[in-house]
Amino acid sequence: MSRSASKGLPWPPAPSAESPALLRTSKLVKVYRADGLTVEAVRGVDIELAIGEFVAIMGPSGSGKSTLLHVLGGLEPATSGEIWLRGQRVDGLSTAGWAILRRRHIGFVFQFFNLLSNMTVADNVELPALLAGATPRQARKRREELLAELGIADKAVAAPARLSGGEQQRVALARALANEPSLLLADEPTGNLDSSNTRDVLRLLRRAHAGGQAILLVTHDARVASLADRVINLFDGTVADDAKIVPIPRTVTGVGDVLELRG
């Protein structure tokens, strides 16, 4: 898996000392125009994500959070503003340029899993590595490691449709992590899961983050957001708040403060 596999793309260098951010945006704007109608979904967003940092994006529906994530992953082009990944400006990349960048540096997890239904679980997870130039042996080894780690090694030959929602999301996570991306992007990863499957995904995200994985995810689920180092709140396409999560000292207030045994 040499970097020359990405010939034609000026490869993003590692972040330098002067610019330690893994991801940075400046005055990022996304406007949709259709049938004479203009919607400003993202209106001048400046955010930054450090290497290994876990940031959650929250906000009311329609606040622009999913749009922002899609633009940051190159799934939709920005209207104006800058996106810097690993010290290189990437907002001007072509569709193909983005595809190559994603293959190597960005893992994506969606609310509805988006697995390839006509392929086995194993093939879904191996495909990104193969596309990035790994040998079949390397891809299989990585897939075996990931599925074992996520507790679904026994599902390797199954079709995704045979799996529960929670299992499918774990496969989607394995696929997103297959190429050890610099950045994991996730759009409502627990939005379609029941509470026990949500717990599993929370555990996996916590573990990935503990292993140094940088994560930027959109969620309305405060359980997911509470795992993050920092939470950005979007409102009406702009950043309304950006703050570290500070646990409340347990001696001061605990569960008892939220739920009181009465009587």
The whole-angstrom separation of Cα 93 and Cα 90 is 5
How do beta strands 183-187 and 106-109 pair?
Answer: parallel
Sequence-distant (6+) residues with CB within 8 A of 120 are 156, 157, 158, 159
CB nearer another protein, residue 161 or residue 246: 246
CB of 18 to another protein, least distance (A): 30
The upper half-sphere exposure of residue 262, i.e. CA atoms within 13 Å in the direction of its Cβ, equals 2
CB nearer another protein, residue 154 or residue 241: 241
**7 near another protein, judged by CB under 8 A:** no
Q: Which of residues 41-60 bind another protein (CB under 8 A)?
A: 58-60
Contact with another protein (CB under 8 A) among 3, 27, 162, 223: 223
Q: Which of residues 86-145 bind another protein (CB under 8 A)?
A: none
Measured on CA atoms in the order 215, 221, 227, 233, is the torsion positive or negative? positive
The whole-angstrom separation of Cα 104 and Cα 130 is 11
**Opening angle at CA 238, ends 183 and 226, nearest 5:** 50
Q: If DSSP codes are grouped into helix, strand and coil, which group holds residue 126? A: helix
**254 near another protein, judged by CB under 8 A:** yes
CB of 203 to another protein, least distance (A): 7
**202 near another protein, judged by CB under 8 A:** yes
Taking CB under 8 A as the rule, which mask of x and - marks residues 56-85 in contact with another protein? --xxx-------------------------
Residues near another protein, by CB under 8 A = 58-60, 195, 199, 202-203, 206, 220-223, 225-227, 231, 233, 235, 240-241, 243, 245-248, 250, 253-259, 261-263
